[in-house]
Amino acid sequence: MKIALRPWKKSDLDRLIKLADNPNIAANLMDRFPHPYTREAGENFLNMAISGQPESVLAITANEELVGGIGVHPQSDVYRKNAELGYWLAEEYWGKGIITEAIRLIVSYAFDNFDINRIYARPFGGNIASQRVLEKNGFHLEAKLKGTFYKNEQYLDELIYGIRS
């Protein structure tokens, strides 16, 4: 399977909504990734993703078919040499090595295109799959914060993984 990253396009809207409207995906992401995933949410996301220069939020494709999204979010102020990594993958593609390859690609892209020396990700403590793909890509656990996330009426641990250029 050929995994690639590409810019988002307005024509991705219908497939984006179809793939993203899944409570199992939303359960492992920040609340700003809504469920249900509405047309309005998709339009707002695409407008944001398309406006970045250089692009920092990209579509993940498998054999040229849209399967998810990934992005790096450069920070500001004293965090300006850092970027936060976020990603999601349609459930039907879980466990196929796609997100592992997508993270490898975005890390290389981010260090080449942004003035940063660290990329970090903050998976929920119970998201073992996300922790494993980060570790496969050379990220190291930097911190574990107890109960800092509040999601779906419960407190969750925040793990901070980082990789440096």
Domain boundaries, the chain: 3-121
Residue pointed to by tokens 């990700």: 121
Residue-level pLDDT at 53 = 79
pLDDT in tens, 87-133: 999 999 999 999 999 999 999 999 999 999 999 999 999 999 999 99
CATH class of 3-121: alpha beta
Rounded to the nearest 10 degrees, how much is the dihedral formed by the CA atoms of 17, 6, 112, 93?
60
DSSP string over 8-67? --GGGHHHHHHHH--HHHHTTS-TTS-SS--HHHHHHHHHHHHH-SS--EEEEEETTEEE
Q: What is the pTM of this model?
A: 0.95
Q: pLDDT tens for residues 20-70?
A: 999 999 999 999 999 999 999 999 999 999 998 789 999 999 999 999 999
